[in-house]
Amino acid sequence: MKKILIIGAGRSSSSLIKYLGDHAIQENWSITVSDRDLSLAEERIQGLDNCVAQSFDALNPTEREEAIESHDLIVSMLPARFHIGVVEDCIRLKKNIITPSYVTEEIKALDDSAKEAGVIVLNEMGLDPGIDHMSAMKILDEIKERGGVIEGFKSFTGGLVAPESDNNPWNYKFTWNPRNVVLAGQGGAAEYIRKGKYKYIPYHKLFQRTETIKIEGYSDFEGYANRDSLKYRAVYGLENIDTIYRGTLRKKGYAAAWDSFVQLGMTDDTYNLEGVPTMTKRDFLNSFLTYNTGISVEDKLCERLSITTDSEVFKKLKWLGIFDKTLIDLNEATPAQALQKIMEEKLSLDAGDKDMIVMWHQFHYILNGEKHVLESHMVAIGEDEIYTGMAKTVGLPIAIAIKHILNGTMTMKGVHLPIHKDIYLPVLKELSELGIVFHERNVS
C-alpha cells in the first residue's frame, strides 16, 4: 500500500483529495490529509475511502519530519513560502514531493540533492502555473518536431464566474482571493516583447492596453498583460522568440471600468486613509476628486474620466454602490482595502454560483516558409461551491501526477516543472478525460 500525505486542506485541495479517495481502493493508496485546522481536514475526507484526517504544525521541524517519514509521496499545498522546509525534509527522507507553486531559486538549487536521493520535486503542477505550461509545451513541441519555428506566443488565463451565474454588469465575481484581484498588476511595469522589441506598460496604463480575445461559444473576453512574460522565454525554450505576452482574462468591459479606480488612485495599498470609521462610499470616491461643491460627485467623476452617465463604465461604477451615502464600515483601511470591502459586498459568489476557468493560447509559427497561427483554449466550469473550476484545475494535475509517480510510469528525478513530455502527455490526456479539454484551431 502506497501512502500519500497532503499538507494543507484548504479550498484548492478539494478536487485533489476527492480524486485520491475515488482511486484509493483500485490503486491501493492510503491517504493522510493534514491541516492546522483538524475539522477542515475531516470535512475534506468525508465519505472518501482509505483517507484519514490529521493535524500537525507544518512549521515545526520535528512534527513535520515525523509526518513525512511515514509516507511515500508528499503534496505541499501550504502557502508558497513554506514549501522549502517540506522539500528539504523530503529529499533527506527520500520522498517524492509535488507543489502547485512557482519554483524558487532555493528549491532549484536542490536539483542535485534530489537526483542523488532518487526523488522528484515537481513544482508548478497546478493551473497557472501548471496546466498553462503543459498545454503550451505540448503544442510548442509538436510545432518544433514538425520543423516549425515559433515566432510568437500569447497566453491568457482568467478565473471568472460561469455564464449561468453571471448576473451583474461587471460580468465578474470574486472566485478567489479578492485582495489579489484589487492589487492585480501593481509592483512594477508589465514587460513583454513584440516583434523583437522590448515593451513596458506602467501599472496606470495596464487596463487601457487590453487585447480582445474571442472564444467560440462565449461572449468576448479581454486580456491585460502580466508583469513577467519575459521569463517564459527560458522556461519554454523560446530564447529567440519575437513576441511573447502573457496576461489575465476578464469579460470584455471589465478593464475599462477597473481602470477608473486605477486612474483615481483607489487601488493604492501603500497608505492609510484618514477618517475611515465615518467615511461613506461616496466620501471615499470624493477624496480622489478635486474640491468643488458646485457640481455633484457623479459629474466630477464623469468629467475626470471623460465619460457620460449613460456609459457602460458609469453603469458598472454606479451598480457597485460607490456613489452611495452608506458607510464603508471599516475602522481603518488603505484605498485598496476600502475598495475591496465595497466590491466584496456586490461581487461575492452567491450560494449555488459556479466559477469558470478560461485559458487561451495563440501560437505564431513558420512552417515550410509559410506563416501559421494556431489557437488553443480550455474552459473549466465548477461543479459546485466545493469542487470549483479552480479546485479542479489546480488539484487534478497533481492527482494525476501522483498516480503516475507511484505507478512508476513517471520516473524523472530531480527538481522539475511539467514542461517535459513524460509529464505533460499523460497528465493532459487524463485531464481531457476528466473534462478539462483543450480545443485547438488553425486560424491561418
Site for a copy of itself, rule CB under 8 A? 187-189, 191, 194-195, 197-202, 204-205, 209, 230, 263-265, 268, 270-271, 273-275, 286-288, 290-291, 293, 335
The runs of H, that is alpha helices, within 118-269 are: 131-145, 178-183, 232-235, 254-264
Q: List Cβ neighbours of 47 (8 Å cut-off, separation of 6 or more).
A: 21
Q: 3-class SS at 421?
A: helix
Nearer to a copy of itself, 189 or 425 (CB): 189
Long-range pairs for 186-192 at CB < 8 Å and ≥24 separation? 186/267, 186/269, 187/227, 188/227, 189/227, 190/224, 190/225, 190/226, 190/227, 190/229, 191/227, 191/228, 191/229, 191/230, 192/225, 192/229, 192/230, 192/243, 192/244, 192/245, 192/246
Nearer to a copy of itself, 255 or 264 (CB): 264
CB of 294 to a copy of itself, least distance (A): 12
Nearer to a copy of itself, 49 or 269 (CB): 269
Q: Are 391 and 6 in contact (CB under 8 A)?
A: no
CB of 148 to a copy of itself, least distance (A): 23
Nearer to a copy of itself, 291 or 444 (CB): 291
**Which residue type is seen at 48?**
L
Q: List Cβ neighbours of 306 (8 Å cut-off, separation of 6 or more).
A: none
Q: What is the CA radius of gyration of the chain?
A: 23
Q: 3-class SS at 82?
A: helix
Query: How many residues are given for the chain?
Result: 444
Q: How far apart are CA 8 and CA 418, in angstroms?
A: 22
CB of 216 to a copy of itself, least distance (A): 27
CB of 299 to a copy of itself, least distance (A): 16
Nearer to a copy of itself, 306 or 442 (CB): 306
CB of 267 to a copy of itself, least distance (A): 9
CB of 129 to a copy of itself, least distance (A): 21
β-pairing, 370-381 vs 120-122, is unpaired
CB of 198 to a copy of itself, least distance (A): 5
CB of 118 to a copy of itself, least distance (A): 39
C-alpha closest to that of 184 among 169, 157, 206: 206
